Structure 1
Amino acid sequence: MNLEMQRFKAEFFKALAHPLRIRILELLGEGDKNVNELQTLVGSEGSAVSQQLQVLRAKNIVSGTKEGNKVIYTLKDPMIIELLAVAKQIFNNHLVDTITILDKFKEDEEEPVTPKN
């Protein structure tokens, strides 16, 4: 059972492992959108957005509903937005740690070296 969960998680995170897919999910977190709306918002070609939406659909992360001649995309689970927010917080934590280390190096470089007798 544990191995199945680990495989699910690995496949799930693989599906998130593309900057354009992350951006699409962030935009869908603001509300449902069709491909044209997503293209405009991300400033990307339709084929790129469509390809990434196919990956997200195949992994059941988003769903599409046909409305007239358009397909409206929605998040299958709104907790995706919470997951992305946690990822952002982890990034910020790492950034703070990196800045702290850099500040320490800077302080060490600024300290005068006193010769030993």
Structure 2
Amino acid sequence: MDDSKVVGGKVKKPGKRGRKPAKIDLKAKLERSRQSARECRARKKLRYQYLEELVSSRERAICALREELEMYKQWCMAMDQGKIPSEIKALLTGEEQGKAQQNSTKLAKAVKTEANSSNP
């Protein structure tokens, strides 16, 4: 018994379905594989560079915040001893209020920039 079917004037024999495997040139396939590997390595290198830059910028921000914290600790220790640091006197009198605001604004912007850059 013949299981062949006539579809659209053509005789189709039952067998494997789907696309027939094309005869791919082995050299071309190897070259595509090599190119894909090169691109993958390049992407990986860029990703690592980005992460290293991110880490170094965060480390700089941490150092700046630690310095500021240390300055505040020194001020507090001085005030506990009954001494008022000259920086605080200047802030209270308003002489360096503009400078202090600028410094705190710069620091806040740096921290915000670091926070924003961590969310790509």
Q: Which TM bucket (shorter chain)?
A: 0.3 to 0.5
TM-score, normalisation: structure 2:
0.35
Q: Which has a greater percent of strand?
A: 1
Q: Which fold has the larger relative contact order, with Cα–Cα distance below 8 Å and residues 6 or more apart in sequence?
A: 1
| Bigger Cα Rg | 2
